[in-house]
């Protein structure tokens, strides 16, 4: 019997443990060796662990350390290899735990870990408890097998298409130099024309950061849609779980509107069902869903928080402004699955994406505004503004940061859990209400800057 003694406490920088994942700058607050420690600690909690990694430069080195730690703790490792987060999630459905090495949409200098289980959702507190635990004496060595999830994942996507049609779409794709099933896209969507950019796997992200929510990163895709007269453009983030759309006129589609498109389809199939929307979504989403007979439940931001709420409420669909969309039949968020869903809807309705948007309520709402602050100060700043509002007798929700709602609209300030910034957004019932609400929001943004 092999007996290994590696008893020790956590040596990781705990500041990289975020609300729903682990993320930091490699070489500064996240080290390659952290993979080993995470493997040793999480390997004590799960018998079978799926491991995948994204296209970032340091991901293969971190994967090697993670797998070493898992095996030494006795866990059996199913190595998925280079993949998107949804591909790793799909592989994990029959395992105890999935660990994805990724920093999602963050710039190239970042990396981190996402944890997935079909049985539970990992909170920051649970991650801290596991990582803070002592490495126990090992009496066995785990095993390692390699698996190929590509065919299974392609079939998941192909099953989304319900409509046999001869209609041919011209689709522009920006894969953001990240690992997706780009080489198989014609198997998923045969008979359509695909124009693909940034399809080489490159962790330096040479043309733009892998964050499609930042509209500057969509400029290249918009140009392709306009130049090649595409029916739509689709952009995915660094690990493939977020999506952003460009319509046939070259306009960026609001994810508030995309939520409505999905909710309408879900409620047609599951009348009177619940859907989950994060706190940043438009209030028009609530009105729209109510008129369709559904119920919107508001949730704090964060893919793991939304997932947990979705399970608790037995909701059929959930979405976040950031482009994470969850469908109950899938069990996790997937940008590519969401994109194929949109294509299926357009084919079914024989409608362009711009026509689909024209059918939806007009929005008087800002983009998400980001104010860069030091990570260690961002929570303190929000608490200071809360005290100011209390002194002014202004009522606000603390579900996720600060949200003030009145008869004209709402405004929001909240801490980003993945970046060193505070995010802001506001909405008005009418254009006039919007302008007034925006003035109030930017008054508090100016106040916020006093604390920076």
10-residue stretch averages of pLDDT, the chain, 452 residues long? 45 85 94 97 96 96 98 97 96 95 94 92 90 86 96 94 83 91 84 92 93 95 98 96 97 98 97 96 96 96 87 95 95 94 94 96 94 86 93 95 96 88 96 97 85 64
CATH of domain 369-449: 3.30.310.50
What pLDDT sits at residue 451?
A: 65
Distances in Å between the Cα of 392 and the Cα atoms of 305, 388, 395, 405 are 31, 6, 9, 15
Are both 14-148 and 255-358 of the same fold?
Answer: yes
Tell me the two tokens of residue 290: 């109510």
What pLDDT sits at residue 2?
A: 40
Three state DSSP letters for 377-418: CHHHHHHHHHHHHHHCCCCCECCCCEEEECCCEEEEEEECCC
**Sign of the alpha-carbon dihedral angle for 65, 66, 72, 76:** negative
3-state percent helix, strand, coil for the chain, nearest multiple of 5: 35, 20, 45
- Cα separation, 359 vs 343, in Å, equals 17
Cα three-residue angle 194-263-241, rounded to 5 degrees: 50
CATH of domain 255-358: 3.40.120.10
**Interhelix angle for 431-449 vs 378-391, to 10°?**
120
What spatial distance separates the first Cα and last Cα of the chain, rounded to whole Å? 57
**Sign of the alpha-carbon dihedral angle for 14, 20, 21, 25:** negative
What pLDDT sits at residue 61?
A: 98
What pLDDT sits at residue 222?
A: 98
What pLDDT sits at residue 1?
A: 35
Any idea which architecture 14-148 has in CATH? 3-Layer(aba) Sandwich (3.40)
What pLDDT sits at residue 137?
A: 80
Tell me the two tokens of residue 230: 């595409």
Residue 315 phi/psi, 5-degree rounding, is -80, 150
Residue 153: which of 202, 89, 206 has the closest Cα? 89
Residue 223: which of 202, 199, 244, 252 has the closest Cα? 252
**How many CB atoms are located within 10 Å of the residue 297 CB?**
15
Report pTM: 0.93
What pLDDT sits at residue 3?
A: 36
CA 419 to chain centre: 13
What pLDDT sits at residue 160?
A: 93
Which DSSP string do the residues of 116-146 spell out, in sequence order? Answer: E-SS----HHHHHHHHTSPPPPB-----EEE
Domain ranges across the chain: 14-148, 152-246, 255-358, 369-449
Q: For 152-246, which CATH class?
A: alpha beta
- Cα separation, 11 vs 33, in Å, equals 10
What pLDDT sits at residue 249?
A: 98
Active site residues: 104
**How many CB atoms are located within 10 Å of the residue 440 CB?**
16
């Amino acid at each position: 019997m092999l007996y290994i003694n590696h008893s020790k406490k956590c040596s990781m920088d705990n500041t990289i443990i975020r609300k729903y994942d682990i993320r930091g700058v490699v070489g500064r607050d996240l080290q390659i060796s952290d993979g080993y420690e995470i493997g040793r600690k999480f390997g004590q909690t799960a018998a079978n662990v799926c491991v995948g990694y994204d296209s970032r430069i340091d991901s293969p080195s971190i994967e090697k350390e993670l797998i070493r730690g898992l095996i030494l703790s006795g866990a059996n490792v199913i190595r998925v290899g280079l993949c998107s987060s949804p591909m790793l999630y799909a592989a994990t459905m029959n395992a105890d735990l999935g660990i994805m090495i990724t920093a999602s949409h963050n710039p190239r200098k970042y990396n981190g870990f996402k944890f997935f289980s079909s049985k539970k959702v990992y909170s920051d507190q649970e991650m801290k408890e596991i990582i803070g635990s002592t490495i126990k004496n090992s009496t066995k060595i785990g095993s390692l097998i390699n698996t190929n999830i590509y065919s299974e994942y392609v079939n998941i996507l192909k099953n989304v298409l319900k409509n046999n049609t001869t209609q041919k779409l011209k689709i522009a794709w920006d894969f953001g130099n990240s690992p997706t099933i780009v080489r198989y896209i014609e198997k998923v969507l045969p008979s359509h024309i695909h124009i693909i950019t940034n399809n080489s796997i490159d962790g330096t992200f040479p043309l733009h950061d892998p964050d499609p929510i930042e509209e500057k990163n969509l400029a290249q895709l918009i140009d392709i849609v306009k130049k090649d007269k595409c029916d739509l453009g689709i952009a995915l983030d660094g690990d493939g779980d977020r999506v952003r759309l460009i319509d046939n006129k070259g306009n960026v589609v609001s994810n508030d509107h995309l939520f409505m498109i999905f909710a309408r389809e879900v409620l047609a199939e599951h009348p009177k069902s619940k859907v989950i929307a994060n706190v940043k979504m438009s209030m028009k989403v609530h009105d729209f869903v109510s008129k369709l007979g559904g119920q919107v439940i508001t949730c704090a931001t964060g893919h793991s928080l939304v997932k947990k709420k979705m399970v608790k409420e037995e909701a059929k669909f959930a979405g976040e402004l950031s482009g994470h969309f969850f469908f109950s039949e899938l069990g996790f968020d997937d940008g590519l699955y969401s994109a194929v869903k949109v294509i299926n809807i357009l084919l079914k309705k024989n409608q362009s994406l711009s026509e689909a948007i024209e059918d939806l309520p007009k929005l008087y709402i800002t983009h998400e505004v980001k104010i860069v602050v030091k990570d260690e100060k961002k929570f303190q700043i929000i608490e200071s503004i809360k005290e100011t509002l209390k002194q002014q007798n202004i009522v606000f929700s603390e579900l996720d940061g600060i949200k003030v709602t009145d008869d004209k609209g709402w405004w929001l300030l909240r801490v980003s859990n993945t970046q060193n910034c505070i995010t802001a957004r506001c909405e008005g019932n009418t254009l006039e209400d919007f302008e007034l609400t925006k003035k109030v929001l930017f008054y508090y943004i100016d106040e916020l800057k006093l604390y920076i």
